[in-house]
Amino acid sequence: MRQIGVEELRDIATGAALMGAGGGGNPEVGKLMAIAAVREHGPVSLLDPSEVPDDFLVTSPSGIGAPAVGLEKFPNGSEFELMMNKLREILGRDVDAVFPIEAGGINSMIPFIVGAKLGLPVVDADGMGRAFPELQMSTLALAGHRICPLILADEKGNLVQIDVDSPHDAEKFARAVTVEMGATSQSVSDTTTGDALRNDGVLGIITKCQKNRPFNSPFG
């Protein structure tokens, strides 16, 4: 376990922009939000997957929608607590940690925002090792894990819960709701166990993003 502060976030965000091949939303917006959250609440613990107990409950907060719209209508911060509180209500318990669903842009930073705000550690793993365009494309979904319950939230305080078995249907319904929320929304999905994430996720991706930070990048 190690602590992620402001300087580490700068490097992770920049490396994730490279690893994500341009996907996952704007890296600058995510970086600034994560830095603000860490400055307000303190550093976030990053767990190596080997440190995560098998029965840990982990979930992935992320953003969905058009990256260009996200530059004009980015999260106000309330969405994250709303959707995590709703997930707690559905599960009947708190989650133990969060992880990024993909390496890329704002979605590499959202788990750190949630982690800082709610005092949760982040697991050094994701669902592809780069950015991807649709929910069913993650390694977790391909391994047969459920995407749902999927909770969407917007800046107006609206919450929508989706609970379907088909990963393709989860993607289809999530996109339709996101359009109605103004083409961008925040979400939490892919709730699973530490054992499943370790077996079916892409491990060490956050550390790899941090180490792969391009020198003199404009996003540094």
Domain contains 104: yes
pLDDT for 104 equals 80
pLDDT for 148 equals 96
pLDDT for 69 equals 63
State pTM to two decimals: 0.90
The 3 state secondary structure assigned to the chain is: CEEECHHHHHHHHHHHHHHCCCCCCCHHHHHHHHHHHHHHHCCEEEECHHHCCCCCEEEEEEEEECHHHHCCCCCCCHHHHHHHHHHHHHHCCCCCEECCCCCCHHHHCHHHHHHHHHCCCEECEECCCCCCCCHHHCHHHHCCCCCCCEEEECCCCCEEEECCCCHHHHHHHHHHHHHHCCCEEEEEEEEEEHHHHHHHCEECHHHHHHHCCCCCCCCC
In this structure, what CATH number is given to the domain that contains residue 142? Answer: 3.40.1610.10
pLDDT for 126 equals 94
Domain contains 219: no
pLDDT for 62 equals 92
pLDDT for 5 equals 95
Domain contains 29: yes
pLDDT for 75 equals 74
pLDDT for 71 equals 63
Q: Could you list the residue range(s) of the whole structural domain that residue 127 is in?
A: 2-211
pLDDT for 219 equals 42
pLDDT for 138 equals 92
Domain contains 218: no
pLDDT along the chain (220 residues), means of 10: 94 86 75 94 97 96 77 76 95 96 88 96 93 86 94 94 95 94 92 96 93 55
